[in-house]
Amino acid sequence: MKIGIIAHLKHPIRKPFMGGLEAFTHEVTSHLIARGHDVTLFASEQSDPELGLRSILSDEDYNRQTLSRFPSHELVEDFISTHHAYLELMQDIDREGFDVIFNNSLNYVPITMATLISTPMVTVLHTPPIFEMKRAAAQEQKIGKIRYVSVSKSNAVAWKPYISDCEIISNGINLDKWDFHDRNDGNYVVWFGRIHPDKGTHLAIEAAGLAGYPIKVAGSIADRHYFETYVRPLLGAGAELLDHLDHAQLNKLIGGAAASVITPCWEEPFGLVIAESLACGTPVAGFARGALPNLVCPETGRLTSSSDPQDLAHCIAEAARLDRGACRRRAEDRLSIETMISSYEALFSEVAANRYLSHAV
């Protein structure tokens, strides 16, 4: 198939990934190419050129230290640049001859303009309903040209008021890249991801201390104020912030931990850290928010519905005693990227076939 993939433009689609959406887009694009599809990735210019890149936005103003394109006082310019990039793309996209457009933009423009083009579109809902997207989707549903996919059941439920029929395809990871550790190498727990208020890093540190475990924190600082105010004062005395880790180092760190502490402070739609932890054989202790209750079962983790570090500490103590083999099996059964790609391929084939069938009629 000839597939056009529309990427999110907040960050380039390249390693090291700034977040789960960039990782998802990179992985799904590279796997579709490996399976023989003719893929074009519409993304910003510093994205990986091996992904069939077609640049639609300059990265001249992108700062890899601040992880942003413009200073805060220029956010309007950022919005306008992104708007026009998607607008120009959608005005010309029918000329590309794609069988299907795979939209991962988190932007209202491709959804709104899907009603004006002939190429069918599949849109993935990577976030809970956000203002511009939910309005655009509700209006588009009156025509019904887009097939919508949610990355989790909990997120599909959140979108129910705006999208009546939303399929669910769980995110997956490349299990071959994550070595299974049948035992933990050290008496510590791990927290990894972006250090941001939404991720609750400080709560994980507090809970680990209450549970009597040292904690190793690995991740980029996405919110400097949050880090300086809430995280830095807790470092030391059993809480260690690690330098930037490559994949092999992160795999060893996670696999060596007694448990991964995962602390979303919002209704996170998925969270690749869950899949990565289970793939390493490391049980999960965390907050029962977003997708976590659907991805973690009693054999692979312990969750609390509260935000109390003491309750989370009890979860850490119990999770550390769980069978690591069960964690890996959970990842293999539910969270494989090969399963995810096959599901998207089947959906793309169905969408493209329906398009050509309707044209024949």
Between 60 and 92, name the one with better pLDDT: 92
**CB-side neighbour CA atoms (13 Å) of 190:** 30
* Region 284-306 average pLDDT: 96
pLDDT tens-place string over residues 265-275: 999 999 889 99
196 with 327, same domain? yes
Looking at the chain, list the stretches that DSSP marks H as alpha helix, in order from N- to C-terminal side: 20-34, 75-92, 108-113, 131-140, 153-159, 201-211, 224-226, 247-255, 272-279, 292-295, 309-319, 324-334, 337-360
CA–CA gap between residue 291 and residue 25 (Å, rounded): 19
CA–CA gap between residue 246 and residue 54 (Å, rounded): 27
Give the total number of structural domains in the chain: 2
Considering only 39-53, 132-146, 294-308, which range has the smallest mean pLDDT? 132-146
User: In the predicted model, is pLDDT for residue 80 greater than 60?
Assistant: yes
User: In the predicted model, is pLDDT for residue 64 greater than 70?
Assistant: no
* Region 67-87 average pLDDT: 74
Amino acid identity of residue 285, one-letter, is: A
233 with 246, same domain? yes
CB atoms within 10 A of CB 320: 19
Q: Take residue 117 and report the two structure tokens written for it.
A: 């083009």
What's CA 258's distance to the chain center, in Å?
A: 24
User: In the predicted model, is pLDDT for residue 52 greater than 50?
Assistant: yes
Considering only 4-18, 59-73, 172-186, 253-267, which range has the smallest mean pLDDT? 59-73
35 with 124, same domain? yes
CA–CA gap between residue 220 and residue 19 (Å, rounded): 10
User: In the predicted model, is pLDDT for residue 257 greater than 50?
Assistant: yes
Provide the 3-class DSSP secondary structure of residue 356: helix
The dihedral sign for the CA sequence 151, 156, 157, 162: positive
CA–CA gap between residue 138 and residue 17 (Å, rounded): 31
User: In the predicted model, is pLDDT for residue 17 greater than 90?
Assistant: no
Q: What is the CA radius of gyration of the chain?
A: 21
215 with 239, same domain? yes
Determine how β-strand 166-168 pairs with β-strand 146-150.
Answer: parallel
Instruction: Please answer whether residues 217 and 262 qualify as being in contact, where contact means their C-beta atoms are separated by less than 8 angstroms.
Output: no
> Could you identify the residue written with the tokens 């309005």?
135
Q: So what's the pLDDT on residue 79?
A: 79
Helix 20-34 vs helix 272-279: angle between axes, to the nearest 10 degrees?
70
73 with 214, same domain? no
> Which domain, by its residues, includes 144?
2-172+337-360
pLDDT tens-place string over residues 104-113: 999 999 999 9
70 with 90, same domain? yes
Provide the 3-class DSSP secondary structure of residue 26: helix
Backbone φ, ψ for residue 6 (5° rounding): -100, 120
User: In the predicted model, is pLDDT for residue 324 greater than 70?
Assistant: yes
25 with 137, same domain? yes
Over the chain, what is the mean pLDDT?
92
Q: So what's the pLDDT on residue 357?
A: 59
Q: What percent of the chain shows pLDDT beyond 70?
A: 95
Q: So what's the pLDDT on residue 33?
A: 98
Beta bridge partner(s), residue 55: 43
User: In the predicted model, is pLDDT for residue 74 greater than 60?
Assistant: no
User: In the predicted model, is pLDDT for residue 305 greater than 70?
Assistant: yes
CATH assignment at residue 14: 3.40.50.2000
Provide the 3-class DSSP secondary structure of residue 179: coil
144 with 60, same domain? yes
pLDDT tens-place string over residues 158-214: 999 999 889 999 999 999 999 999 999 879 999 999 899 999 999 999 999 999 999
230 with 213, same domain? yes
CA–CA gap between residue 126 and residue 145 (Å, rounded): 19
CA–CA gap between residue 230 and residue 123 (Å, rounded): 36
Report how far apart, in Å, the C-alpha atoms of 335 and of each of 175, 241, 246, 286 are. 8, 28, 22, 18
Beta bridge partner(s), residue 168: 150
11 with 144, same domain? yes
39 with 66, same domain? yes
pLDDT tens-place string over residues 220-229: 898 999 999 9
User: In the predicted model, is pLDDT for residue 72 greater than 60?
Assistant: no
Q: So what's the pLDDT on residue 361?
A: 42
Instruction: Please answer whether residues 114 and 148 qualify as being in contact, where contact means their C-beta atoms are separated by less than 8 angstroms.
Output: no
What's CA 351's distance to the chain center, in Å?
A: 24
Q: So what's the pLDDT on residue 360?
A: 47
To the nearest 10°, report the CA torsion of 174, 272, 70, 54. 30
Give the closest residue to 155 by CA, choosing from 20, 11, 276: 20
The confidence band for 75, taking pLDDT boundaries of 50, 70 and 90, is low
DSSP string, 305-350: SS--HHHHHHHHHHHTTS-HHHHHHHHHHH-BHHHHHHHHHHHHHH
Q: What percent of the chain shows pLDDT beyond 90?
A: 82
164 with 239, same domain? no
* Region 65-70 average pLDDT: 63
